[in-house]
Structure 1
Amino acid sequence: MPTQRVLITEDAKKVMNEVREKHGELMFHQSGGCCDGSSPMCYKKGQFRTGKSDIKLGEVNGAEFWMAKDQFKYWQYMQLTLDVKPGRGSSFSLEIPMGVRFLIKSKMFTEEQLEDLEELVSG
């Protein structure tokens, strides 16, 4: 099995499951844009339109995780872990009204992991 580019913590899974109950299927997108900068944004699946400037890094807890290509240049050598913490972000992400926000933790891939990474999918 290839090395996953994006992982998820148990706490983030719990929040995701609550958001999914309320909004249905979900997706994530991480850009370097406004609001919370490069924080992952949680949307109802299809609410955020991906395009040629986006890359699908994988899936977390049944939801696609996309990133802007320009951001990926900075993150390509790191394994990302989607986590959650208390506090309100200044974004349009679906978890914000719950008083929590998703965030990314990262660690460098090992050389062995880099040789066996999940395939990327362009938008």
Structure 2
Amino acid sequence: MIERVIATEAACALIERLRQQHGKIFFYQSHGCCEGSVPMCFAEGEMGLNSEDVQLGAIGGVPFYASRGQSDYLQGLQLTIDVVPGDGGTFSLEEGSGQHFVARLRLWTDDEARALQAQQAG
């Protein structure tokens, strides 16, 4: 199974701390240009999802969403969620922890792209 979103060990450790502090949480890939497009973590009920939001996958047992438009834009890429030092200046739950989430992007290989298409069709 090919996963559209994966996470590093460091990201999973921060996710677990946030789950301990906030209970049910989820991620949303924000829109933006360049560095303005970041994965943001919210407590359940803190931000509403709508019919145009799609789940790309789950990391650390936490659902990861994006808008349909953003999902289409990211179709040819795998997202690896990681953490880096410093605050991100966002409304994400990790703000103030001294770390913030980032998304690292990787193009699918041709074989992965074919397998992902077959996986989505089935």
Q: TM-score, normalised by structure 1?
A: 0.87
Question: Residue 56 of structure 1 corresponds to which residue in structure 2?
Answer: 55
Question: Displacement of 1:115 after TM fit?
Answer: 2.1
* 3-state SS in 2 of match to 1:90: coil
For residues 108 and 47 of structure 2, the distance between their equivalents in structure 1, rounded to whole angstroms, comes to 29
Question: Residue 30 of structure 1 corresponds to which residue in structure 2?
Answer: 29
Contact 1:27 1:46 in 2 (8 A): no
Q: TM-score, normalised by structure 2?
A: 0.87
Identical residues among aligned pairs (%): 37
Structure 1: runs of 5 or more not aligned: none
Question: Residue 46 of structure 2 corresponds to which residue in structure 1?
Answer: 47
* 3-state SS in 2 of match to 1:15: helix
Question: Segments of 4+ in structure 1 off by > 4 A?
Answer: none
The structure whose RCO (Cα within 8 Å, separation 6+) is larger is 1
Relative to its length, the structure with more helix (as a share) is 2
Question: Residue 87 of structure 2 corresponds to which residue in structure 1?
Answer: 88
| Deviation sequence 1:31-89 (CA, Å, 0-9, x none) | 2159x721000011232211122111011111000012222232110011000001111
For residues 70 and 37 of structure 1, the distance between their equivalents in structure 2, rounded to whole angstroms, comes to 16
Question: Residue 106 of structure 2 corresponds to which residue in structure 1?
Answer: 107
RMSD: 1.9
Structure 2: runs of 5 or more not aligned: none
